[in-house]
Amino acid sequence: MNLSPIDAAIVVLYMILVFGVGIYMERRAGKNINAYFLGGGSMPWWLLGMSGSSTYFDITGTMWIVSTFYILGMKGLWEHWIWCFPFAGFLFAFKGKWIYRSGVLTNIEWLIFRYGDKKDGQAARLVTVIAGLILMILMLGYAGTGVGKFIEEFFPVKKAVAIPILFAFTGLYVLLGGFFSVVYSDLFQTIVLFLAVIYIAVCAFIQIDPEVFRNTVGNQWYSLKPVWQLPTSSEVYQDLFGLLFILWMTRGVILLFNNGVATSGAEFQRCRAARNENEASKMALMWGFIFSIRWALVMAFTVFGLSIFANSGNALDAERILPMVLNRVLPIGIKGLVIAGLMAAFMSTFDSTLNVAASYVVNDLVKPVWKTATSRQLIIASYISTLIILLLGILISLRTEQIRDIWNPINFALGSALLAPGLIAPYWWRIGGWAHCASGLLTLIVAMWVYFFTDWRELQYFPIIAGVSFVSCIIASYLFAPASNSVLLNFYKNIRPFGFWKPVRRMMVAAGEDDSRFVRDKNDLPVAIVATLFFIALYVWMMDLVLHNWSRVWWVTLFLFVSGFFIYKFRWKRMNAVIE
């Protein structure tokens, strides 16, 4: 065991406190299904934003991000477009308020809002919930893969023992407290994480000599400029870096514009849990700001790792850099606090994913079939679904050795099964429920074949899956009828999206209604683009501070002031205007 009794006591105390939150919140969460999954719409935007940032601060993802910077230098930032790391900009500008306006419980139920509740809408819903559940269960397996590696570095237990215990513990407090326990435990976890990040980042800033480090890694290590080919070969990055860059950016930009059903469950859930649409936007802004501390932590671990292991040959697995550094550089007491913080990161991701997955089962599978179910019966159904999903997540995590082995298929294979319908439906009136269902089903079959029966790399299979998704979606949109006029009118009246909605707007004009978009939605797209660039700059700024990379810090600081003023003038000041 690599932990002192003091460090172990801190970790155990933290676990007890978190479990106490679940027990305390059980009575509030058990009122009804809305309270269980959305907190009854009673929580302030800043709390939801802190919860969201904690949810995306998972230990497995942090270990993987450290490994990308360890191998690629600052160019590793580009790889994180595959999960759209600056997502908060678009969520703040318009996606958050569109989600809030829908009035539905889950991003899967958004499909009924968009396509109607007839057979076409229900078919689209069924295919999407199946794909969504598969992804959520894989995400739990992904989370377990990383935390298993992490625990093995500090505790005398193997992954096969540690993962079931930790999954059961976290699952139990989610089961008891629902979304209330998720958010309030996330608040506590965010505070712990914040303290841990400050300590590690300051240690890296003070202890690592910037000149010695620069001489060790070279000037090119600091460069963000994409290159066609890496200067040295890598077993991890076997394809040309230029092609990988195009691949990462393509998926990332698509995810920026994805809305509604294609939004992550955690983002959708917190936007819908907000008290009004302005608070949904503010929540996204808070999320992006708090999330910036993750990049300081990542760079601190990367700097320590390169300084300690670059020439030693000890760090054979780049995904283990984080726990290996943590075990060597932190003193007793502080180590326990930081481990508790990183365990908090795992639990935040895990609890939100589990809660969202259970909401899919109850709201999108059970409720449409069991129409007479009472609120209490639905709560019991959520308990059962939580346990089943938990067991499946454990099985997958025990069968996965490398984070990358499950993370890339999640994003590029199964995660791309609904790529085209998720992107097109919010902006084009023509796509209907049957087109969504046909495209999703066909692409899901192709994606599962790739995942289970080939050993292709993402650069080989993603263009095929994306091509199948977009071609089948466009063709099916003309083969099958769109949603009914009443459904399209209801969707447009409530959301007022930009895009290709001219026939629907004509129907509104013919009925004597105003078809214009809301005044408060003016400048949505410019604000989204500027806010995205703002968050990218903020994250680079946080990493450059740790690196003492002052020449870029000053230019990025200037850009942050200019873009921040634009966001304030064209969105923040207008957010408190009276809603038309």
pLDDT tens for 118-149 read 999 999 988 988 888 888 888 888 888 888 88
In this predicted structure, the answer to whether residue 553 has a pLDDT above a threshold of 70 is yes
Q: Does 463 or 106 have the greater pLDDT score?
A: 463
CA distance 331 to 336: 9
Closest CA to 552 of 565, 562, 567, 537: 537
In this predicted structure, the answer to whether residue 5 has a pLDDT above a threshold of 80 is yes
Contacts of 96 (CB under 8 A, 6+ apart): 267, 271, 274, 277, 280, 281, 283, 284
Three-point CA angle 43, 48, 49, nearest 5°: 145
In this predicted structure, the answer to whether residue 38 has a pLDDT above a threshold of 60 is no
pLDDT of residue 578: 46
- Chain segment 248-293, per-residue pLDDT in tens: 999 999 999 987 666 676 788 888 888 889 999 999 999 999 999 9
Instruction: Identify the three-state secondary structure at position 428.
Output: strand
CA distance 572 to 394: 43
- Chain segment 342-384, per-residue pLDDT in tens: 776 677 677 667 777 777 788 778 887 787 877 778 778 877 8
Task: Determine phi and psi for 350, rounding to 5 degrees.
Answer: -65, -45
Contacts of 2 (CB under 8 A, 6+ apart): 153, 154, 155, 327
pLDDT of residue 233: 64
Mean of pLDDT values over 321-341: 81
Are 216 and 310 within 8 A, CB to CB?
yes
How many residues belong to the chain? 580
pLDDT of residue 40: 54
CA distance 208 to 570: 41
In this predicted structure, the answer to whether residue 314 has a pLDDT above a threshold of 50 is no
In this predicted structure, the answer to whether residue 300 has a pLDDT above a threshold of 70 is yes
Closest CA to 344 of 192, 515, 143: 192
CA distance 260 to 436: 13
Closest CA to 324 of 517, 313, 333, 386: 313
Which of 5-9, 364-368, 559-563 has the highest mean predicted lDDT (pLDDT)? 559-563
For the chain, the distance separating the N- and C-terminal CA atoms, rounded to the nearest angstrom, is 61
Threshold 0.75, pTM exceeds: yes
What are the C-alpha distances in Å from 9 to residues 163, 284, 336, 340?
20, 35, 8, 10
pLDDT of residue 222: 95
Q: Lowest-confidence range among 19-28, 451-460, 487-496?
A: 19-28
